[in-house]
Structure 1
Amino acid sequence: MLITTKAIVIHSLRYSEADLIVTCFTESSGIKTYLLRNILKSKKGKLKKAMFQSLTQLEIVANHKNKNTLESIREAKIDIPYKNLHTDIYKSSISMFLAETLKNTIQEEEENIALYRFLSQAFQKLDELEKFANFHLFFLVHLTHYLGFSPNLSSTKHPYFNLLDGDFQIAETNKYCISNQNSELLKQFLKSDYDNFASIKLNKIRRQSFLEMLLLYFQLHLQGFRKPKSLEILNQLFS
Structure 2
Amino acid sequence: MSTSVKAIVLSKIKYRDNDLIVSCYTQHRGLSSYLIRGAFKSKRSGTIAYYQMLSQLEIVETYKPNQSLHYIKEVKSSFVYSTLHTNVIKSSIVLFLSEVLANVLKEEEQNTLLFDYLETALQWLDSETNYANFHLLFLLKLTKHLGFYPDTKQIEVGVFNLQTGYFEPSAQHIYSISQENNSILKQLLIINFDALNSVKLNANQRQAFLNMLMQYFELHLGYFRKPRSLEIFNEVFK
| Category of TM-score, reference length = shorter chain | over 0.9
Gaps of 5+ in 2: none
Amino acid corresponding to residue 22 of structure 2 in structure 1 = V
Task: Provide the rounded CA distance (Å) in 2 between the counterparts of 1:68 and 1:182.
Answer: 44
Moved over 3 A (4+): none
The 8 Å contact of residues 10 and 103 in structure 1, kept in 2 or not, is answered as yes
2-structure distance, mates of 1:33, 1:195: 33
Q: How far 1:173 sits from its partner (Å)?
A: 4.7
C-alpha distance in structure 2 between counterparts of 1:190 and 1:141, whole Å: 8
The answer to whether residue 151 in structure 2 is matched with residue 152 in structure 1 is yes
Q: Secondary structure at the match of 1:22?
A: strand
Q: Which residue of 2 aligns with 1:96?
A: 95
Q: Hey, what does 2:43 align to over in structure 1?
A: 43
- Matches of 1:226 and 1:171, distance apart in 2: 29
Question: Are 2:184 and 1:185 aligned?
Answer: yes
User: Which aligned pairs between 1:7-22 and structure 2 lie closer than 5 A?
Assistant: 7-22=7-22
**Structure 1 residue 42: Cα displacement:** 4.0
| In structure 2, distance between residues paired with 1:204 and 1:77 | 37
Which AA in structure 1 matches 2:91?
A: S
- Residues 24-51 of structure 1 show CA distances to partners (whole Å, capped at 9, x for unaligned) of 0000100001110101114258x70000
Q: Which amino acid aligns with 2:173?
A: N
Aligned to 2:201: 202
* SS state at 2:209 partner: helix
Asked if structure 2 preserves the Cα contact closer than 8 Å seen for 1:161 and 1:167, the reply is yes
| Sequence identity percentage | 45
**Partner Cα distance (2:197, 2:60) in 1:** 37
Partner SS, residue 163 of structure 2: coil
Q: Which range is displaced more, 166-175 or 177-186?
A: 166-175
AA in 2 matched with 1:221:
H
1:220 equivalenced with 2:219 (yes/no): yes
**What is the TM-score normalised by the length of structure 1?**
0.96
SS at match of 2:153: helix
Moved more, 58-67 or 103-112: 58-67
| Matched position secondary structure for 1:153 | coil
Q: Which amino acid is the alignment partner of residue 131 of structure 2?
A: F
Q: Distance in 1 between matches of 2:126 and 2:150?
A: 27
CA RMSD across the alignment: 1.3
Counterpart for residue 24 of structure 1 = 24
TM-superposed deviation, 1:4: 1.3
Q: Which residue of 2 aligns with 1:121?
A: 120
TM-score scaled by length of structure 2? 0.96
In the TM superposition, residue 68 of structure 1 has moved relative to its aligned partner by: 4.0
Counterpart secondary structure, 2:6: strand
Q: CA deviation at 1:199?
A: 2.5
The within-5 A match list for 1:53-64 is 53-64=52-63
Question: How many residues get paired?
Answer: 238
Residue 110 of structure 2 corresponds to which residue in structure 1?
A: 111
Alpha-carbon distance between aligned partners in 2 of 1:163 and 1:226, rounded to the nearest angstrom: 16
Unaligned runs of 5+ in 1: none
* Residues in 1 aligned to 2:16 and 2:24: alpha-carbon distance in whole angstroms: 20
